[in-house]
Amino acid sequence: MNTSLLDPIVNQRVSEMAKKLVGSEIIKLAGEVKEKIVKGEKIYNLTIGDFNPELFPIPTELKNEIIKAYQNNETNYPAANGILELRESVSHYLHTREGLEYEANQVLISGGARPLIYATYLTILDPGDTVLFPVPSWNNNHYCHLTGAKQIMIETTADTNFMPTAADLKPHISETNLIALCSPLNPTGTVFTEEGLNEICDLILEENKKRGDRKKPVYLMFDQIYWALTHGETRHYDPVSINPDMKNYTIYIDGISKAFAATGVRVGWAFGPEKLIMKMKAILSHIGAWSPKAEQVATANFLSNNDAIDEYLFSFKNDISKRLNTLHQGITSLKEEGFKVESIPPQAAIYLTVKFDLTGKTTANGKLLESSTDVTKYLLDEAGLAIVPFYAFGASKKSPWYRLSVGTSVYEEIPELFERLKNALSMLK
């Protein structure tokens, strides 16, 4: 008898989707960083798209509302689409903060933005339908894999601050069912210009006019989770504010995780056409991706506290901007000294886009840096600088661009970081 057939380890089989699911490059890099930290090495970890709560706590008013909600025993199941009080509060928040008019029944609450993105894909796409998105961008390739969608990736460049243009999208629009865009963009921290986004809206509307009722329209998923975190003179633009006709075709992804450093609180919302939102609600009700009720109650109350929001964002954005600007100035100084580095001035979010054009260089021990992987490892080993290459976000393996995240950055450590970085760059030949 062949006992191997009875071995639960040997005979465990999985679906083709699970078998071919690609792991996260960021998680892989995080493992290497953690290993070095455990060994006692000093690492400046700028990889994480999250916040150190000691440096960036959530608003005190939000924390108090959460505690109060648990003390009031708000611990049973919430409504499948989110409690009415929160959906009404989000509706009012969108009206006062962005000038967007969406009723409570056009808002869907979930445990953060990720389930909402997944539900958007499942609601709009049949297996084999096409998703068009730029790279670098966050996770669209994985959502395509999970839903069996065909993906068309448009690699963007520094010339447009890594934001896609209508000209980039136009050759593929006729075969597209969903366009997935993000502004401010993760990983670059850059944003759409009003003109650039308007041209994309015009492209979508023109294509849908051609399709009429005979073919599924092109929908736009617009992830604006970082929209409140703009810096300097940067302004956030969104599709429906630019062109109201986009309201029939746009699903927004939003929430409190980035605007209020509340990544672990898990309150996100989508808003868009009621028919699509109701289908997304039905999908998520079967998945059970609810935001905890106490957090929903707390967020509903917090979003109505305009003074607390204004005070928090003023301080929060200043702390983020200070870090981003100091890092940008440091990179600019290195460039002026002749090192092959540069960065795009900070625009939004918690990210700085930096170029380390070091492939072809040789280390002090004679090793040739042949790829972005080699460069990433060199910066980690010699400078203690942990950053994420753009190829982790779908860009070419040859891309010399990186994401620096300041959510866990200790401001006082930035000068010593640049001392080590300059030393590491100086050793290259």
CATH number, domain containing residue 213:
3.40.640.10
| CA 9 to each of CA 3, 5, 22, 78, 340: distance values in angstroms, whole numbers, following the listed order | 12, 10, 21, 39, 50
- Rounded to the nearest 10 degrees, the angle between the axes of helix 306-336 and helix 60-71 is 130
Residue 5 has a pLDDT of 53
Amino acid making up residue 313:
L
Tally the C-alpha atoms within 13 A of residue 167's C-alpha that lie toward its C-beta.
Answer: 4
Query: And the tokens for 374?
Result: 């080699």
d(CA 111, CA 15): 26
DSSP string, 219-245: EEEEE-TTTT-B-TT-----HHHH-GG
Same domain, 16 and 73: no
Both tokens of residue 394? 């779908």
3-state secondary structure of 269: strand
* Any domain includes 318: yes
Which H helix or E strand runs over 427?
Answer: none
Torsion of Cα atoms, 309 then 310 then 312 then 316, to 10°: 130
Sheet strands side by side (includes 130-135): 107-110, 268-271, 250-255, 219-223, 178-182, 130-135, 150-155
In angstroms, rounded to a whole number, what is the distance separating the alpha carbons of residues 320 and 412? 13
**H/E element, 345:** none
DSSP assignment, residue 360?
T
How many whole angstroms separate alpha carbon 245 and alpha carbon 226?
24
Looking at the structure, do residues 299 and 206 belong to the same domain, yes or no?
yes
Q: Is residue 2 part of a domain?
A: no
* Tens digits of residue pLDDT in 76-97: 999 999 999 999 999 999 999 9
What is the crossing angle of helices 414-426 and 306-336, to 10°? 30
Judge whether 399 lies within some domain: yes
Last residue of one domain, picked from the residues 305, 340, 362: 305
User: At which residue do the structure tokens 């989508």 appear?
Assistant: 270
**pLDDT for residue 12:** 77
DSSP code, position 247: G
Residues 296 and 356 in one domain: no
Instruction: Name which of 326, 269, 337 is nearest 303 in CA terms.
Output: 269
In a domain, 68, yes or no: yes
Q: What is the CATH number of the domain that holds 46?
A: 3.90.1150.10
What's the angle, vertex CA 277, arms to CA 139 and CA 350, rounded to 5?
35
Name the DSSP letter for residue 195.
H
| Domain enclosing residue 412, as ranges | 7-56+310-426
Domain assignment of residue 203, yes or no:
yes
**What residue ranges of the chain have pLDDT lower than 50?**
1
Cα–Cα distance between 227 and 345 in angstroms, integer?
17
Shared domain for 90 and 17, answered yes or no, is no
- Predicted confidence at residue 379, as pLDDT, reads 97
Same domain, 277 and 325: no
Last residue of a domain, one of 305, 323, 348: 305
Measured CA to CA in angstroms, residue 251 lies from 15, 39, 223 at distances of: 30, 45, 8
Q: Residues 374, 290: one domain?
A: no
Pair of tokens at residue 131: 């998703």
Read off the tokens for 402: 């990186």
Quote the pLDDT of residue 24: 73
Query: End of a domain among 281, 305, 329?
Result: 305
Shared domain check, 209 and 191: yes
Whether residues 319 and 263 fall in one domain: no
Q: Yes or no: say if 149 and 176 are a contact pair by the CB < 8 Å rule.
A: no
Same domain, 162 and 129: yes
Gap between the Cα atoms of 273 and 250, Å rounded: 7
Question: Among 353, 356, 352, 327, which Cα is nearest to 341's?
Answer: 356
Residue 222 shares a structural domain with residue 330: no
Q: How far is CA 108 from CA 86, 276, 382, 412, in A?
A: 10, 10, 47, 41
Q: 142 and 273 share a domain?
A: yes
- What's the structural domain count of the chain? 2
